[in-house]
Amino acid sequence: MSVIPPSERLAVRLTVNGRPVEHAVEARRSLADFLREDLALTGTHVGCEHGVCGACTVMVDGRSARACLLFAAQLDGRDVITIEGLTPADGLSPLQECFRACHAMQCGFCTPGMIVTATELLAQDPAPSTEAIREAISGNLCMCTGYVNIVRAIAQAAARAGARA
């Protein structure tokens, strides 16, 4: 086991949105900056850079994670899904459609993190109570304070999925 000096770049191989990616990164490169700067996946937003605002939330191995609190170097062999990976090539996902229908975005800065967080919630709890939705998004700050419509959109997505099932 060697210690990688600060000046040297590390080779990382991972899967991003189903696509294998290989890149050389500085050890201190955050996953958020890696996605945005190195892979040009700018849907992952960078807000507070210390794990409070939730704007950079992505999926790592199927679980939500703050991309500002992980280093790209740690993700060798892992599977990362970003908002781009949750968005169909053509149009919007059912959850995104509900965000649009409910006017659940104002400036849109928090929206990618909200969608990732809500995707995980609905996968674990397909019919969440309003309280469960509020608790699930409590780690995602909307500085426009548009929470009411975000909660409504997530509830609508759950109801529509339930009606289809």
For another protein, the binding residues (CB under 8 A) are 1-7, 10, 26-28, 30, 33, 48-52, 54, 57, 60, 63-66, 68-71, 73-74, 117, 120-121, 134-136, 138-139
Nearer to another protein, 7 or 145 (CB): 7
State the Cα–Cα distance between residues 46 and 33, nearest whole angstrom. Answer: 8
Identity of residue 44: T
Nearer to another protein, 101 or 132 (CB): 132
User: In whole angstroms, how close is the CB of 3 to another protein at the nearest point?
Assistant: 4
User: In whole angstroms, how close is the CB of 149 to another protein at the nearest point?
Assistant: 19
User: In whole angstroms, how close is the CB of 63 to another protein at the nearest point?
Assistant: 4
Q: Give the CA distances from residue 140 to residues 48, 79, 114, in Å, rounded to whole numbers and listed in that order.
A: 11, 22, 6
β pairing state of 9-16 and 79-81? parallel
